[in-house]
Amino acid sequence: MAFVGWKDEYSVKVTQMDDEHKKLFKGGYTGLAAQQAAHRAFTDKVKEYDARLQAGKLVLLFDVGNFTRTWLAEHIKAMDRQYSEVLAPTAK
């Protein structure tokens, strides 16, 4: 049984991605907590950029783009590849 159950609030509204995420929850993926923490950290950083912007502070598009590009690339290469063992056996 999964330690954390799937909730609709986790949906990204893309069926294929949601289905894969659900498999991680059901499959007992041991790195799920770290995966969730990494996504929270990403979201927190984006919220920080937004708060700075809303406060009238300087936010360089280059910084936002660089952070996003780097985070996504590194996250996919490192963390997302780790859960392929859970998803690969059920892939079509």
Q: Cα separation of 48 and 51, whole Å?
A: 5
Query: Reduced to 3 states, what is the DSSP secondary structure of residue 60?
Result: coil
CB 24 within 8 A of CB 32: yes
pLDDT at 59: 93
Rounded CA-CA distance 81/35 in Å is: 11
Q: Where are the domains of the chain?
A: 31-90
The one-letter code for the residue type at 73 is A
> What is the arithmetic mean of pLDDT over 19-40?
84
pLDDT in tens, 40-90: 999 999 999 999 999 999 999 999 999 999 998 998 888 888 887 777 765
pTM of the model: 0.71
Distance CA 88, CA 92 (A): 9
91 pLDDT above the threshold of 60: no
